[in-house]
Amino acid sequence: MERGTIGFVMPIIALSIPVVAIWSKQRREVLHSQWKATAEKAAQYAASNKELEERVRVLERIVTDGGYDVATQIEALRDQRRVEDRLEDKREPSRN
């Protein structure tokens, strides 16, 4: 290289070092904040997943419990509602 070229390139390199340092620091901060946001979302999904797993366990317990007949319970509730509706109809005076 010629002496004039070195004299021209050296100040440019010297001035670009702080610019690159500032840019890389800013880039690290952006990546760190994105990482924190991603970690927070992952924690929220894990908590939600854990809650759903617990609910599924409860449902499995209800369905697999030998003494628990879901269909019978539902029908009993329907029958109870029918009886309550009939009693309500009898309490209301006739509108003839």
Question: How many domains, the chain?
Answer: 1
pLDDT at 94 exceeding the cut of 60: no
Would residue 86 count as lying in a domain? yes
Average pLDDT of 6-16? 85
74 part of a folded domain: yes
For the chain, counts of helices (H) and of strands (E): 2, 0
- Provide the residue range defining the domain that includes 13: 3-91
pLDDT in tens, 20-31: 999 999 999 999
Q: Which pLDDT does position 1 carry in this prediction?
A: 55
Tens of pLDDT, residue by residue over 46-64, are 999 999 998 888 888 777 7
Q: How far is CA 66 from the centre of its chain?
A: 34
**Residue 96 within a domain:** no
Question: Is 49 among the domain residues?
Answer: yes
Q: pTM for this structure? A: 0.43
